[in-house]
Amino acid sequence: MSIRRAKGRGHLFDSILDTVGDTPVVRINRIGPDHVTVYVKFEAFNPAGSVKDRLALNIIEAAERDGRLKPGQAVVEATSGNTGIGLAMVCAAKGYPLVITMADSFSIERRKLMRFLGARVVLTPRAQKGLGMYHKAKELAEANGWFLASQFETPDNADIHETTTAAEILGDFDGQRLDYFVTGYGTGGTVTGVGRVLRRERPDTKIILSEPANAQIVGSGRANDRNEAHQPTASHPDFQPHPIQGWTPDFIPWVLQEAIDEKLYDELIPVAGPDGIHWSRELARKEGIFTGVSGGSTFAVTMGLAETAPEGSVLLCMLPDTGERYLSTPLFEGVTEDMDDDEMALSLSTPGFQL
Is CATH 3.40.50.1100 the right assignment for the domain spanning 16-45+165-332?
yes
β-sheet bridge partners, residue 25: 41
Is the CB of residue 123 less than 8 Å from the CB of residue 94? no
Q: What is the pLDDT of residues 176-195, one digit of tens each?
A: 999 999 999 999 999 999 99
Residue 103 makes CB contacts below 8 A (sequence gap 6+) with 80, 123, 124, 125, 126, 128, 129, 130, 132, 133
pLDDT of residue 224: 87
Q: What is the pLDDT of residues 27-74, one digit of tens each?
A: 999 999 999 999 999 999 999 999 999 999 999 999 999 999 999 999
β-sheet bridge partners, residue 318: 41
pLDDT band at 2 (very low <50, low <70, confident <90, very high): confident
Is the CB of residue 26 less than 8 Å from the CB of residue 39? yes
Q: What is the pLDDT of residues 83-111, one digit of tens each?
A: 999 999 999 999 999 999 999 988 899 99
In whole angstroms, give the CA distance from residue 14 to residue 2. Answer: 34
Phi, psi of 176 (to 5 degrees): -115, 160
Indicate whether 13 pLDDT > 90.
yes
Indicate whether 353 pLDDT > 90.
no
- What's the residue count for the chain? 355
CB neighbours of residue 204 within 10 Å: 8
Does the annotation count 294 as an active-site position? Answer: yes
Q: What is the pLDDT averaged over residues 100-126?
A: 93
Q: What is the pLDDT of residues 334-352, one digit of tens each?
A: 999 999 999 999 999 999 8
In whole angstroms, give the CA distance from residue 254 to residue 260. Answer: 10
Intra-chain end-to-end CA distance of the chain, in Å = 39
50, 150, 210, 294: the catalytic one is: 294
Is the CB of residue 246 less than 8 Å from the CB of residue 292? yes
In whole angstroms, give the CA distance from residue 238 to residue 250. Answer: 8
DSSP letters for 146-206: PEE--TTT-HHHHHHIIIIIHHHHHHHTTTS---EEEE--SSSHHHHHHHHHHHHH-TTSE
Mean of the per-residue pLDDT values for the chain?
95
41, 50, 52, 136: the catalytic one is: 52
Q: What is the pLDDT averaged over residues 70-85?
A: 94
pLDDT of residue 255: 97
Does the annotation count 70 as an active-site position? Answer: no
Fold of 52-148: Rossmann fold (3.40.50)
> Does the reported pTM lie above 0.85?
yes
Helix, strand, or coil (residue 250): coil
Q: What is the pLDDT of residues 211-259, one digit of tens each?
A: 999 999 999 999 888 999 999 998 999 999 999 988 999 999 999 999 9
Closest residue by Cα to residue 47 from 13, 20, 24: 20
Is the CB of residue 210 less than 8 Å from the CB of residue 298? yes
In whole angstroms, give the CA distance from residue 245 to residue 19. Answer: 25
Give how far Cα 57 sits from Cα of 62, 104, 191, Å.
8, 25, 18
Q: Which amino acid is at 262?
A: E
Is the CB of residue 81 less than 8 Å from the CB of residue 325? yes
Is the CB of residue 41 less than 8 Å from the CB of residue 318? yes
Q: Where do the CATH 3.40.50.1100 domains begin and end in the chain?
A: 16-45+165-332, 52-148
Phi, psi of 37 (to 5 degrees): -120, 125
Q: What is the pLDDT of residues 131-184, one digit of tens each?
A: 899 999 999 999 999 999 999 999 999 999 999 999 999 999 999 999 999 999
Closest residue by Cα to residue 78 from 336, 209, 251: 251
